[in-house]
């Protein structure tokens, strides 16, 4: 989560600097990156909440019935 916050702040600083220079294409790219980070942050917050509610130590994002598999020499 801290990484996402850091990257969002970095992109916002870039956005502010580009606003002053009025580089429209670069501004649009940075805004898209910020939106993707916001979506990722919301997803990770949801997963974190689901993990805490389940009481488990891990959460499968692809198969709800999946768990950690241990293989012994196979």
- Report CA-CA distances (Å) from 59 to 38, 44, 53, 65: 21, 11, 11, 10
Number of domains in the chain: 1
Find tokens 């196979």 and name the residue: 74
- Asked if residue 15 lies in contact with residue 30, where contact means CB atoms within 8 angstroms, the answer is yes
Chain segment 35-62, per-residue pLDDT in tens: 999 999 999 999 999 888 988 888 777 7
69 located within any domain: no
pLDDT value at residue 20: 67
59 located within any domain: no
Range(s) of the domain holding residue 29: 2-46
pLDDT value at residue 55: 85
Look up the pTM and report it: 0.54
């Amino acid at each position: 989560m801290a990484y996402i916050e850091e990257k969002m702040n970095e992109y916002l600083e870039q956005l502010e600097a580009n606003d002053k220079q009025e580089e429209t294409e670069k501004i649009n790219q940075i805004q898209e990156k910020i939106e993707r980070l916001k979506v990722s942050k919301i997803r990770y917050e949801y997963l974190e909440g689901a993990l805490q509610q389940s009481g488990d130590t891990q959460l499968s994002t692809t198969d709800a019935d999946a768990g950690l598999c241990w293989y012994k020499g196979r």
